[in-house]
A and B are shown apart, each in its own frame.
Chain A
Amino acid sequence: MTHAIEVEGLVKHYGEVKALDGIDLAVPEGTVLALLGPNGAGKTTAVRILTTLLRPDAGRAMVAGIDVLAEPARVRPLIGLSGQSAAVDERLTGRENLVMFGRLYRLDKATATGRAAELLERFGLSDAATRVVQTYSGGMRRRLDLAAALVVSPPVIFLDEPTTGLDPRARADMWEVIAELVAAGSTVLLTTQYLEEADRLADTIAVVDHGRVIAEGTADELKARIGGETLEVVVATDDELPVAQKVLASVSGSEPVVDRHTRRVQVPVGTGVAALVETVRRLADEQVTVLDVALHRPTLDDVFLTLTGHAAEDADSSQPAGTAAEVSS
């Protein structure tokens, strides 16, 4: 399999701060890699290096088969970048912005204009096309910014936190757009702090913390790393708790945890849905009124917590840089 992005031992230090501390990545053509990490993990730094904006202290980076450090000029026509904060001209209209970027990608006037109209339509900005960007909402800017990265449908696309600041609806739209890009053959590297987003979009997730990749794999692989599923039953009355406890113990073969306050019984299970079905059947036989029953798979939140020792969203953790390395080893 050919790789659209290949990174080896990328290092970038800012004085004491190790923004990147030796990152390796390989993104097969036509797939999505999500760099998942908390604030200050080094995601933007990695994107900036791969898009020729920043030179690393050490390491190697290939994009679309071209050495980024040796031949940045040959990489630029092949990439699209939508940075962390929307970088469009506020004093121009949405259309003027897109036409300008099209022209800078060396499209002729007619093509650039046509493409701009297409993108404005695609991103739901047609109505605002002739308004200056200054009057746009944050989400509209974000979408315009992404559109600007796509004027020439580049083979490799870098999206730095593409859905930060978008409402749920706009986020779903953005996900759809990204899925379409990939379906059309583009390779996408995106960064995100949202576990759900990585789960939903990415073929591979690289969890980054303190400038290092501390885990990599599909969402399922990452979840599997921290164990199986949990079966959870909520019953109607306190009297039914012991029965439920007995049933779950016998189905799973291990001792359930009982929360009397919420009348909730939980137990780890190895057989997933089969255990769920079995449990429901047996509880019905015992005439237990079940208010709720669920099979919980570990979330990426759990993964993150387990891997890094801190939650994904808990901003720039004040932990020393060494912690991540210890956890991952």
Chain B
Amino acid sequence: MTDPMTDADDRPVLIVGASMAGLRTAENLRRAGYAGPITFLGAEPHAPYNRPPLSKELLQTEGQGHEDVAFPIRSALEENVEWVLGRAAASLDTERQVVVDETGAEHPYRALVIATGLRPKPLPIDDHGLTGIHVLRTLDDAVALRQALRPGANVVILGSGFIGCEIAATAAKAGAATVSVVSQSRIPLERAIGPQLGAEVRRRHEAHGVRFFCENGLFGLVGDPSVERVILTSGVMLECDVLVVAIGSDANTEWLEGSGLDASDGVLVNGGLQAVRADGTVLENVYAVGDVARYPNPLFDEVARRVEHWNLPTETGKRAGQVLAAHLRGDDCAPIIEAPFAPLPSFWSDQYDMHLLAFGMTYLADRSEVVAGTLEDECVVEFFRGDELVGVCGIGMRGAVQGYRSRFTPPVAAR
């Protein structure tokens, strides 16, 4: 506890959520000179690991497990770090600076990093207690789904976003008897990468035998004790041994209820990743990073958004680590925070032999244009909001897509 004589505070920096964003924040805290105690409190039993392979390699490779996806723990985190895994945070008291976990144990902190990420939205209709229904976010989810994706299985995927499409590709490769994608959207991935690329993705899936049921939904399930058939809102009935729900995610913020933070859709933070209270005031010792954070990006506009791309846990972790280290040293954080926080979002997706790579916020665009190559082979597509270039996405042609990185620059900081 705080000792008024020496002003020493031996409480740790508490990182809730032991995954990529939390790990990157800890590494950057160390890089910025903080050598004091760090505690991770994580709901999963596993040390931090990389999620993208969960819908790709790990989902199709029998025997792969944590060791194939674990992040390396750098030497700077070998000392003075405590890992409390397999335990979820249940509540936060920012006055007393304490997080209470699900067992009732209290974790006092000097500074708190919120890195609890997202979880998949559940099946939107009653599951009647049926088995055979899956989601995919964690390693344990992936292992369970891999076991279910036996050759000859009838697989139905609800949702045609990146995760739904990647699971469809993996299931098709794994020798499923049928793979059906059911989606509200008109075109798969339309919201993410526009109608042209979305239609091309669909064409490639169909060439591998995947069927799409677009502008459609689930009406009911049949089976006992495991799902056997699904009935779509259009009336179509599909054989179904494995149902995967991939219709987006919600932020893991229930434990922040009553804490005073603005966690209405992810945790609102300022440009230093410091948490903003519902009344607009900033908590200098509470940070949010990764998928759970909501912040504006001056590369695009002033709207605070949650962005679910793999490179942002690293970018937010870097920034939060620098600001928090300065705060813990007692330095003025304002100069760091005033420099615009403008990370360029980047994402990729691998489906069959198709490699998509994108920069920017393609989903803000109202128009897209193929500027090089052809959709059926390799191409570069630019995305515009009005006249403003907001994103680029390629199939293959990585060098050309990488070349766009310098085209996104933050506005000169307002003086």
The judgment on whether A and B are partners is: no
Q: Which of A's residues lie within 8 Å of B, judged by CB?
A: none
Q: Which of B's residues lie within 8 Å of A, judged by CB?
A: none
